[in-house]
Structure formats: C-alpha cells, structure tokens
C-alpha cells in the first residue's frame, strides 16, 4: 500500500477551481418536525438557497427521522432536476439507511451526485469523528462499488489524518470530507495554528492520492474564509447549522450570499500596491 510521509509532502496540483457551497437543510426539517403543520417547507428552503446561488443541497436522513424524512429526500431530488448544474449530496451511515436511498433514487431516475459516508451510530447526537482505517476498509469497499455502479461519487467523512488518505483511496473513495470541528473550536490561537497545519498536511496528502477534498462541520461566516485561504484546494463546503441560524435573522437569500462572499474573499489574491506618480 502506498504510504505518505507528512514530513516531506509532494507538491499538490495547482488549484484551478473555486470552492462550491452545499447547504445542509437538516435544521429546517428539525424546526418543521416540532409541530404537525408541515412548515417550514424543507424543499422550499432548498429552492430558495439554490436561487440565491448555492451550488448544491445536502441532507442527512438519520434512521430515527429526527429531522430529514424519506419524503424530503425524494422531493429535494425531484427539485434538483430543475437545477442541472447543482448537486444533491446525501450523508449517512452506509450500514444503516444510506444505501437504500442510493439504490432507490437510481431506480426512480432521480438525481444523486454524491453520497458522503459518515460513521454515525443510530442514536448519535451529531457527527463527531471520521472513519477508522484499516478497521473499516473491507466493509466499505463493496458499498462504494455499489454507489459507483449507479454513477454516484463517494466521499468519506474523515478526520484530518494524513496517513489515512492512502487507505481512503485504496477502498475506492473519490473524495474525503474533513471533519472541521477541531478547527472551529481550537482553544488558544497557538492550538488553532497547529490544528490548521494538520488540515493543510492532510489536504496535501489527499491531493497526492488524487482525492478531492470537501469540508464541513461548524464552519461559519467567522471562520470560513481563513480556512479556505489555508486550504485553497477544498472543492466543497457543506454548511447547515450556522447558515440556517443566520437565515433566521437575514433570510435565506442574504445568508447564502454572505457565505458565497466568504468563499470569494478566500480566493481574492492580494496584489502589491501600485506606485502612485505625483505630478511636480
């Protein structure tokens, strides 16, 4: 198996793309589920986010249906047919209910562009760790193959561990999604710098293995730009809790545009000041 030494990383390919934004609408469903009135509409929220410029929609339909329900998955998939340049991403544990949706959406001819395999237990409060290699490797391989057979890209939810990138590639993953809570809640400034360096090294390791890099969990308007400046190769950020919380104050359109602005700011190159000639 190919190994990667974080002490001597190879040069990553030059970045020729800008990070895209996928909005996770789970929290809209959570609010709806507190009553039996079917409001707010999860599908309408997804549509408003797409209209505002979001590049994709993410859902995580947990087995207990605490937020996203099966009907939401199919309604949003149908909506995505009207947005052919945007992507639908479903997160979940492939050993629970995720593969059912992968198979069923394909059978119904509904779009699914990416599935993100997350190692959550059924009663887990929120995603809080990535896959463990080599322990999970053999179990994941056939499920990744099933997704690929239906034309679905597979991303593995991972901690930023450089040495694990070769294993993720070996099981057939197309991308990894870095779990970013450690970046969002680092403690001291020195700890934040150390944490960010681990993400940078893991990103370089992923690039060496020709793995695309996504990122998500607790990213917000305050920390997104700095993260992407350090990690310009990130292909997609999936943001839900913070963006939906912002949307409660700003509205969906303004909130999405704010996050797109954060992404844009990360890719603005700082140019040297142009000397000014003073007429004499």
CA distances from residue 171 to 121, 155, 204, 218, 273 in whole angstroms, order as listed: 21, 11, 19, 27, 48
3-state secondary structure of 58: strand
100 is catalytic: no
Cα gap 273→271, rounded to integer Å: 6
Residue 19: both structure tokens together: 């990070």
67 is catalytic: no
What is the Rg, in whole angstroms, of the alpha carbon atoms belonging to the chain?
Answer: 19
17 is catalytic: no
Q: Are 204 and 165 in contact (CB under 8 A)?
A: no
| Residue located via tokens 């599908």 | 43
Q: Are 47 and 40 in contact (CB under 8 A)?
A: no
Active-site pick, 55, 67, 217, 236: 217
Cα gap 17→234, rounded to integer Å: 9
Q: Are 122 and 62 in contact (CB under 8 A)?
A: yes
Active-site pick, 60, 67, 177, 236: 60
Active-site pick, 47, 91, 177, 236: 91
Active site residues: 60, 91, 217
């Amino acid at each position: 198996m190919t190994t990667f030494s974080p002490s001597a990383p190879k040069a990553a390919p030059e970045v020729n793309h800008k990070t895209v934004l996928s909005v996770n609408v789970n929290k809209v469903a959570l609010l709806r589920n507190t009553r039996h009135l079917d409001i707010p509409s999860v599908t309408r929220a997804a549509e408003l986010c797409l209209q505002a410029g979001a590049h994709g929609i993410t859902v995580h339909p947990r087995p207990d249906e605490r937020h996203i329900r099966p009907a939401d998955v199919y309604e949003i998939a149908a909506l995505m047919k009207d947005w052919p340049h945007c992507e639908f991403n479903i997160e979940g544990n492939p050993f629970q209910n995720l593969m059912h949706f992968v198979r069923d959406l394909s059978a119904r001819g509904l779009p699914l562009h990416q599935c993100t395999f997350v190692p959550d237990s059924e009663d887990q409060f929120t995603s809080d760790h990535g896959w463990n290699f080599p322990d999970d490797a053999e179990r994941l391989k056939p499920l990744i193959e099933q997704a690929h057979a239906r034309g679905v890209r597979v991303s593995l939810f991972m901690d930023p561990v450089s040495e694990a990138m070769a294993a993720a590639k070996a099981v057939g993953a197309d991308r990894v999604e870095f779990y970013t809570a450690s970046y969002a809640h680092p403690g001291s400034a020195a700890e934040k710098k150390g944490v960010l360096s681990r993400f940078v090294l893991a990103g370089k390791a992923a690039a060496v293995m020709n793995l695309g890099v996504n990122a998500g969990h607790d990213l917000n308007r305050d920390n997104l730009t700095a993260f992407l400046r350090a990690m310009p190769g990130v292909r997609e950020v999936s943001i839900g809790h913070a963006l939906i919380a912002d949307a409660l104050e700003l509205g969906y359109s303004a909130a999405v545009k704010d996050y797109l602005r954060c992404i844009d700011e990360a890719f603005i190159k700082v140019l040297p000041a142009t000397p000014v000639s003073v007429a004499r």
